[in-house]
Amino acid sequence: MTDFQYRAWLESIASNQNLKWTELRVFLILLGNLDYGTTVEISQIEIARKLNLTPANV
């Protein structure tokens, strides 16, 4: 699985609004955007957009 496929797979799971915990959905987005040996380069606003949430809920 390529990095792109892995990220898309995690973001697909995170976008499922039937997941009960917002924290889990945010964690999956962060995990999908983590590059080995680096920090996560995604903003709170971008996470909220991907999960269809308000930034205050992220």
Q: For residue 49, what pLDDT is reported?
A: 86
Those residues whose C-beta lies under 8 Å from the C-beta of residue 34, and which sit 6 or more positions away, are 40
Domain count, the chain: 1
Q: Which one, of 36, 34, 38, lies nearest residue 47 by Cα? A: 34
Q: For residue 31, what are the domain limits?
A: 3-57
pLDDT tens digit at each of 58 positions of the chain: 778 888 888 888 888 888 778 888 888 888 887 877 777 778 888 888 888 888 877 7
Q: Is 29 exposed, middle or buried (0-12, 13-18, 19+ CB in 10 A)?
A: buried
Helical ranges in the chain per DSSP H: 3-14, 22-32, 44-51
pTM above 0.75, yes or no: no
What is the residue whose two structure tokens read 């909220």? 48
Q: For residue 20, what pLDDT is reported?
A: 79
